Amino acid sequence: MDTQLVIEEYDSFVALGRYREGGKFLELAAEAARNENDLEADAIITGELIGHYRKNGVKTKCLKAIRYAKRLLKSSVTDDGVMVGTLYINMATGCTHFGYPNEAIEYFEIAEKYYRENLPVRDKRWSGLYNNSAAAFEAAGDLDRAEEGYLRALRFTEAIDAAEESAITCINLAGLAGKREQQQKIDKYLDRALYALSTVRNPGAYHAYVCRQLAVSFACCGRNKDEEALLNKAVAIEEKIAREATRKESR
């Protein structure tokens, strides 16, 4: 089974806001992979399903998919260590989201082992590992380890010039500073997030998504002008993408 095509089709549903249909499509694809006894495809699609359920708040199905993925990984589903590490990250992030941070931390530790053995040191996926594992420590109440992890993520993203990921990491650090009532740090990291976004030369759909995510944090901190600017920027990018898509279709 061509899992890349499956993921692209799912993404097309998401882009149109058809989340329920996208989830159903993934479920049917996973069922097909199992019927074909394609364990690697099953594992990849299960990872996508875990993410889908997490983002849409479907707790029971998400936890069930995590347990199924754990059973799958006991089999030799693939020799692709990066894929295995990424599946553990999906499992871990789902656990954090639904209130099982200690289990998540265990999965993140396994994921990091696979990444260290198989993933290039400057690959952007390290940012996801560092940020999400820090979030698990934060959820578990270990704020020192959480800050350590977020700072590790920030050093990494700034070193590889991953501006959007740096901005996300700064927002995570600002949120952590909020829990500690450290106002100076909150402002410092919010400003740093804005600066990171300002360095992007050709912002695309992902940049617009990040702007919308960051706008929520700025609103929570009472920085309404910055919130408005981020939302306006997101709208402008999205409208430009829509115009370009219309032009292509008319050719």
Question: What pLDDT digit, counting tens, does each position of 158-179 carry?
Answer: 999 999 999 999 999 999 999 9
Check residue 127 and give its pLDDT.
Answer: 95
Report the chain's mean pLDDT, rounded to a whole number: 94
**Percent of the chain at pLDDT exceeding 90:** 85
Check residue 245 and give its pLDDT.
Answer: 75
CB 59 within 8 A of CB 19: no
Number of folded domains in the chain?
1
Residue 103 forms part of a structural domain: no
Check residue 247 and give its pLDDT.
Answer: 82
Check residue 229 and give its pLDDT.
Answer: 97
Residue 94 forms part of a structural domain: no
Within 13 Å and on the Cβ side, how many CA atoms surround 41?
Answer: 20
- Indicate whether 188 pLDDT > 90: yes
Residue 42 forms part of a structural domain: no
Average pLDDT over residues 74-99: 92
Q: Which domain holds residue 218?
A: 158-251
Residue 49 forms part of a structural domain: no
Residue 219 forms part of a structural domain: yes
- Indicate whether 17 pLDDT > 80: no
- Indicate whether 85 pLDDT > 90: yes
Q: What is the pLDDT of residues 23-58, one digit of tens each?
A: 999 999 999 999 999 999 999 999 999 999 999 999
- Indicate whether 99 pLDDT > 90: yes
Residue 136 forms part of a structural domain: no
Q: What are the Cα distances from residue 106, in Å, to 24, 64, 88, 90, 140?
A: 30, 18, 9, 13, 12
Residue 247 forms part of a structural domain: yes
Residue 166 forms part of a structural domain: yes
Check residue 242 and give its pLDDT.
Answer: 82
Amino acid at 248: K
Check residue 246 and give its pLDDT.
Answer: 80
Neighbouring residues of 47: CB distance < 8 A, sequence distance ≥ 6: 69, 86, 87, 90, 91
Check residue 29 and give its pLDDT.
Answer: 96
Check residue 26 and give its pLDDT.
Answer: 96
3-state secondary structure the chain: CCHHHHHHHHHHHHHCCCHHHHHHHHHHHHHHHHHCCCHHHHHHHHHHHHHHHHHCCCHHHHHHHHHHHHHHHCCCCCCCHHHHHHHHHHHHHHHHHCCCHHHHHHHHHHHHHHHHHHCCCCCCHHHHHHHHHHHHHHHCCCHHHHHHHHHHHHHHHHHCCCHHHHHHHHHHHHHHHHHCCCHHHHHHHHHHHHHHHHCCCCCCHHHHHHHHHHHHHHHHCCCHHHHHHHHHHHHHHHHHHHHHHHHHHHC
